Amino acid sequence: MLIGRYTAVLDACVLHPVFVRGALLWFAHERLYRPLWSAEILDEWQRSLERKFPDVPADKLAGQRAIMVSEFEDAMVCSCEPVAQGLILPDPDDRHVLAAAIVGRADAIITANLKDFPEAQTLQFNVEVIHPDDFLVNAIDLDAGKALAALRRHREALSTSAPSPAEYLERFERCGLIQTHQRLQAVVDLL
């Protein structure tokens, strides 16, 4: 993974948990990597949020999406459908994610659903499939200064809950980001 030049498609499943999305986007903000997504990925993410949180007004979700799109203007990958049609994956509904990676010339797909993207299908396009926990740990190892700055800004942006560094660290474990939680324990005071 090359810091700053590494490009990764964010699958809808890593955009859904607000905490995981926040950590990944703050890493992108610090230029630890360049995020990519397609309109179809964002649509899937938004539908998932609407199902899970039916009381949240649609305009609020649309506002979150608009912020992401405007903050990362070069993240949108278009014209994926023709490529998706020719792909074979265990779940045909995931073809659009691999297509976005191919069209966007991504180095990786960050997803919690690793089994949905078998290496036999992804490596032929030079696309690595990586769990968000592995991705975050790798980025921390490659540039701890930028990674810690990103995480500190992420924690500070959580103004409603205003977690202490220790409370913030525990959220990684609750989200299943066990390696990241363990890696950050030694530097919790820097968060």
State the Cα–Cα distance between residues 74 and 42, nearest whole angstrom. 14
pLDDT more than 70, % of the chain: 98
């990597």: which residue's tokens? Answer: 33
67-103 per-position pLDDT tens digit: 999 999 999 999 999 999 999 999 999 999 999 999 9
CA distances from 81 to 40, 48, 77 (A): 9, 21, 11
pLDDT value for 160: 86
Q: Which CATH number fits domain 7-131: 3.40.50.920, 3.40.718.10, 3.40.50.1010, 2.60.40.3880?
A: 3.40.50.1010
Residue 2: is its pLDDT beyond 50? no
| Domain ranges (residues) in the chain | 7-131, 136-184
Write out the two tokens for 94: 């995931």
Residue 3: is its pLDDT beyond 70? no
The phi-psi region of residue 31 (left if phi > 0; otherwise alpha if psi is between -120 and 50; otherwise beta) is left
The pLDDT of 150-171, averaged and rounded, is 94
User: By three-state DSSP, how is residue 76 classified?
Assistant: strand
- For the chain, how far is it from start to end, CA to CA, in angstroms? 23
126-156 per-position pLDDT tens digit: 999 999 999 999 999 999 999 999 999 999 9
Contact predicate 10/24, CB 8 Å: yes
* 34-38 vs 108-110, strand pairing mode: unpaired
pLDDT value for 5: 83
pLDDT value for 97: 98
